[in-house]
Amino acid sequence: MNEFTQVGPIEVTLTEDGGTARDKTPRLQRLRMLRDEQGKSYEVGTCIAGRGFKIRHEDIRRLLKATDGKVFTLTTMHLLIEHARIKEYRVR
């Protein structure tokens, strides 16, 4: 693995209304579909915050499915590196 190897796109969005949350979900589903169609192995993940997601329960369910559960919040952001392939780039 090197810096040119794709390990996955991570999209970060702050939503203050249901419309932004509603728009984010199809983008991530599309990224997942493109990955699968192209036979790639990168992960699709997202970091979300804001009140928009609190009212879009169905979108949260679809996000969890599209990202294989890799949906992080401000509270769980510290888990991102351990639970995604980007941990392969960690140096210590």
pTM: 0.75
SS3 42: coil
Tens digits of residue pLDDT in 10-31: 666 666 666 777 788 898 899 8
Average pLDDT value for residue range 44-50: 84
pLDDT at 92: 66
- Give the separation between CA 8 and CA 28, rounded to whole angstroms: 12
Name the pairing type of β-strands 45-49 and 10-14.
Answer: parallel
**Three-state DSSP state, 72:** strand
Encode pLDDT of 52-72 as tens digits: 777 778 888 998 999 999 988
* Residue 48 pLDDT greater than 70, yes or no: yes
Identify whether the C-beta of residue 26 lies closer than 8 Å to the C-beta of residue 61.
no
Separation between Cα atoms, residue 58 and residue 25, nearest integer Å: 10
